[in-house]
């Protein structure tokens, strides 16, 4: 299995960071608190959407942390360096599925929370179309993020939240347009190496990269490419 690459903040922004920012703005509506923790904060898409309160970001990638303008710490999401009940709101965007143990990650988020725990992940199986076209053209189905990340489904998210002792658990979806001027505009972010699909692409020899590129191209229209991106959301509250 190809290793996911998380070293390039600019490359990640071009790939999915820009789309995450749109989802993040919708996701934080209805959340309120003075002390926030953004787990797997990346380059700061979700942190930036929080307009009120004090926000700390935690991410295992030093490159992403350096690019994030908020206060950040380098930390794995399954072992957060904070005391129990430190934050009013604990949030996570597009990171839970990349933790080595997502369920433990939810427990850690619940441990450091004193209120709401919420997250969103891409719908890799169907709704994240820019990735779906890529993985549908890959010969090895074991690389597909839909197969690798079973946590990215409403039922699995709700189960993990309840297993962490959270109550009033709800799930939802956010869908946004992702528009590309042409195929080159669509394909260029895959060359940056940041993320699962770009990391897999760069693991291939040049001739295989070209073959995959042409297979993906054949499944997309000429000229402007209009796709959509869907994220699954989940929220729960710590028991008092």
pTM, full prediction: 0.89
Q: What is the pLDDT of residue 8?
A: 53
Q: For all residues of the chain together, what is the average pLDDT? A: 91
> What is the pLDDT confidence band of residue 161, given thresholds at 50, 70 and 90?
very high
pLDDT (tens digit, 9 = 90+) per residue, 9-66? 677 788 888 899 999 999 999 999 999 999 998 878 899 999 888 999 998 877 776 6
Q: What is the pLDDT of residue 1?
A: 38
Q: What is the pLDDT of residue 145?
A: 93
pLDDT at 104 over 70: yes
Query: Residue 36: beta bridge partners?
Result: 55, 89
């Amino acid at each position: 299995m190809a290793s996911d690459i998380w070293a390039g903040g600019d490359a990640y922004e071009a790939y999915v960071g820009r789309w995450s920012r749109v989802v993040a703005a919708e996701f934080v509506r209805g959340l309120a608190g003075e002390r926030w923790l953004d787990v797997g904060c990346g380059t700061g898409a979700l942190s930036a959407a929080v307009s009120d309160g004090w926000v700390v970001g935690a991410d295992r990638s030093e490159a992403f942390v350096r690019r994030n303008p908020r206060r950040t710490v380098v930390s794995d999401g399954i072992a957060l360096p904070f005391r129990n009940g430190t934050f009013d709101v604990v949030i996570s965007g597009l990171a839970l599925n990349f933790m080595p143990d997502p369920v433990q990650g939810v427990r850690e988020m619940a441990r450091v929370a004193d209120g709401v725990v919420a997250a969103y992940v891409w719908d890799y199986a169907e709704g994240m179309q820019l990735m779906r076209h890529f993985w549908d053209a890959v010969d090895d189905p074991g690389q597909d993020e839909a197969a690798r990340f079973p946590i990215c489904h409403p039922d699995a998210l709700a189960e993990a939240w309840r297993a962490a002792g959270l109550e009033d658990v709800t799930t939802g979806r956010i869908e946004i347009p992702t528009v590309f001027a042409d195929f080159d505009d669509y394909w260029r972010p895959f060359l940056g190496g940041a993320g699962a699909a770009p990391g897999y692409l760069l693991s291939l020899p040049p001739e295989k990269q070209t073959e995959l590129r042409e297979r993906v191209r054949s499944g997309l229209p000429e000229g402007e490419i209009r796709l959509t991106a869907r994220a699954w959301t989940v929220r729960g509250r710590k028991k008092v």
